[in-house]
Amino acid sequence: MHTPALAVTRTPLVAVYGTLKRGLRNHHWLEGASFLGADVLTSATLYDLGPYPAAKPETSRGIVVEVFEVSARLLADLDRLEDYRVRTPKHGDYERVIHTTAFGPAWLYLYNHAVAGCPVIREGAWQPR
């Protein structure tokens, strides 16, 4: 479900599932964000691409995400990191879509490319190698 109006009416929430999580290599991109807590989403499945995971909009038994409250500027920085293209979302590496979390509606970056042959994570969290 893609509902950008929700992000305009309040400070955006972002649900992260890979290298942006606390303690991992890209977490510094979330400096200044407020950590709200962890949640489990059944509306996405993860694929292990090696150096990072990719989420696809497929039902799972529950993938672990961390939810952060971010500023509009920080969200724009994350868009650049994830190659999310506002005007042509299907042409970047990721599309940003609202998913329901325990903390409210949050943006989740969904991978636009093929994941055939990649290990599937239908439950739990992605672990860096």
Under the banding of pLDDT at 50, 70 and 90, the label for residue 55 is very high
Q: How many CB atoms are closer than 10 A to CB 94?
A: 21
Taken in order of first residue, the domains within the chain and their CATH numbers are: 5-122 (3.10.490.10)
| Phi, psi of 14, rounded to the nearest 5 degrees | -130, 135
pLDDT above 70 for 127: yes
Question: Within 13 A of 96's CA, how many CA atoms are on the CB side?
Answer: 26
Please write the tens of the pLDDT for every residue from 61-112: 999 999 999 999 999 999 999 999 988 888 899 999 999 999 999 999 999 9
Identified catalytic residue from 58, 82, 95, 123: 82
pLDDT at 15 (0 to 100): 98
82 in active site: yes
Whole-model pTM? 0.90
* Closest alpha carbon to 18 in 58, 78, 70: 78
